[in-house]
Structure 1
Amino acid sequence: MNTPTSAPITHIVLFKYSPSITWAKLESHFSSFLSLQSKCLHPSTRKPYMKSMRMGKNRSWEPYSKGMTHGFVLEFEDQDDLNYYLTQDPVHKAFSQTAKDLMYAVIPKCPSN
């Protein structure tokens, strides 16, 4: 059982896609996002460092989504790994640049560099 000091770090991202996006672009985006789990490599070990990733479409009828249609839940071993992913990982940066044209809104926004 994980103790609070050794618990994995959860990173949640919610997307609202541009209304003009095609299904083919959506599928390509999902595939690219899911591939980050194996393509994002730790800078020293050169091995994948993301522990897990899940995704899904919001199917709730509650009125709290603010238009966000899809969510991704990423899990990292520690805060350092998440920080590297958000601010330095070149694979994630390239993905974010490509994906931003598909988005109407993203919560949370990654720091821009």
Structure 2
Amino acid sequence: MAIYRILLLKFKALVPPDEDKAACQRILDFETNCIHPTSQKPYVKVLGGGKDNSLEGRQDGMTHAFILQFENDEDRKYHVEKDAAQLEFAASSRDIIEKAQVIDFAPGVF
């Protein structure tokens, strides 16, 4: 069963725009840089992401959003716990991200 991840980020106020863009590009690059150790193929589908442009003012400070898809829980678990590209992103962005929220869901499971 597919699992979708919604990743919301709030970059620190004094982070230069080119640094947030580079961090966002690293997330978008998960689609090609996250390689499954068994199949040796990309296993994360990045459905999209970018800077907030909502008119409603309900972002709670979040500035960027991304949607990722995993084919199954095993792939998600590998991504969170072991994938080198994801772990490198998390480590390298600690100084520029003020807040991150993650929501995962399986479609139709309520």
1:19 aligned onto 2:13: yes
Measured in 2, the distance between the counterparts of 1:96 and 1:53 equals: 20
1:67 aligned onto 2:61: yes
SS in 2 for 1:81: helix
C-alpha displacement of 1:51: 2.5
C-alpha displacement of 1:55: 0.1
Q: Quick one: which amino acid aligns to residue 88 of structure 2?
A: A
Q: How does 1:31-110 map to 2 (within 5 A)?
A: 31-108=25-102
| TM-score normalised by length of structure 1 | 0.83
Greater RCO (Cα-Cα under 8 Å, separation 6 or more): 2
Identify which range, 85-94 or 27-36, moves more after superposition.
27-36
Moved segments of 4+, more than 6 Å: none
User: Unaligned stretches of 5+ in structure 2?
Assistant: 104-110
Partner of 1:3: none
Output the aligned Cα RMSD: 1.5
Q: Percent identical across equivalent pairs? A: 28
Q: Which has the higher strand share?
A: 2
Partners of 2:9 and 2:100 within 8 A in 1: yes
C-alpha displacement of 1:85: 0.4
The CA deviation string for residues 6-51 of structure 1, in whole angstroms up to 9 with x for no partner, is: 4x21011100100001011122112222111101110111110012
Identify which range, 68-77 or 28-37, moves more after superposition.
28-37
Measured in 1, the distance between the counterparts of 2:40 and 2:15 equals: 34
Partners of 2:6 and 2:67 within 8 A in 1: yes
Partners of 1:55 and 1:73 within 8 A in 2: yes
